[in-house]
Amino acid sequence: MNMGKDDDLIPITALPGSNRAVFLDRDGVINEMVYNPDYGLVDSPANADEFKLLPGVGEAITKIRTMGFLTIIVSNQPGLAKGRFSLALHQAITNKMHIELAKVETKLDAVYYCLHHPDAKLDEYRTICECRKPKPGMLLKASQDLNINLSGSYFIGDGITDVAAGQAAGTKTFLVGSSKLYVLHELDKQRVYPDYFTGSLNEAVKTIEFLENHHE
């Protein structure tokens, strides 16, 4: 699988399946989406200047880590495949993410990207892969790399593909900020039902904290 992963992060050693994680989608969950006036669309940031953390994200990630979970980004990033930006810009956005999180005194444990798209303009990224959500490939790879117990983990995302990937991997799932009627219809159509609906990453983390504190 052609996934981008931060290889400079501190390796984690543990017995197989002894770690638990909170997996996070990136755009729309930890950072703002960006309006593109040329296309009239709201999309992922295409350069580092456009990357801005959403309010309270640092606090939420710190809380996740305090509860003993690994914090892992798993994100489809087809912008490179579609020719929206270069590999250098893609890496610059990731670097900006780490810098901004460091400013609020927190960090991620790992980052996994799927760079593929079946309709990619660039041949090397045009494929039907196992890592692009809604398939669970990135979560399964993270589980192998970091000895994660997926059934004891959570996935927080803002899209139907996030919920589907989390369910396929065996995690509990949160759908952030998607209460619009057409989204609910599509969830029902695809038979994809998140365990929890929530308004923000902060609310999802508070729910996880409650669930952990009241786990029997």
Q: Which residues participate in catalysis according to the annotation?
A: 25, 27
The C-alpha atoms of residue 81 and residue 119 are separated, in whole angstroms, by: 8
Place of tokens 């504190």: 213
- In angstroms, the CA 171 to CA 174 distance is 10
Residues 6+ positions from 74 with CB-CB distance below 8 Å:
23, 24, 25, 112, 133, 138, 139, 142, 155, 165
87 touches 125 (CB < 8 A): no
Residues in a beta bridge with 172:
154
- 3-class state of residue 77 by DSSP: coil
Question: Bridge-partner residues for 166, per DSSP?
Answer: none
Question: Which residues on adjacent β-strands are paired with residue 157?
Answer: 175
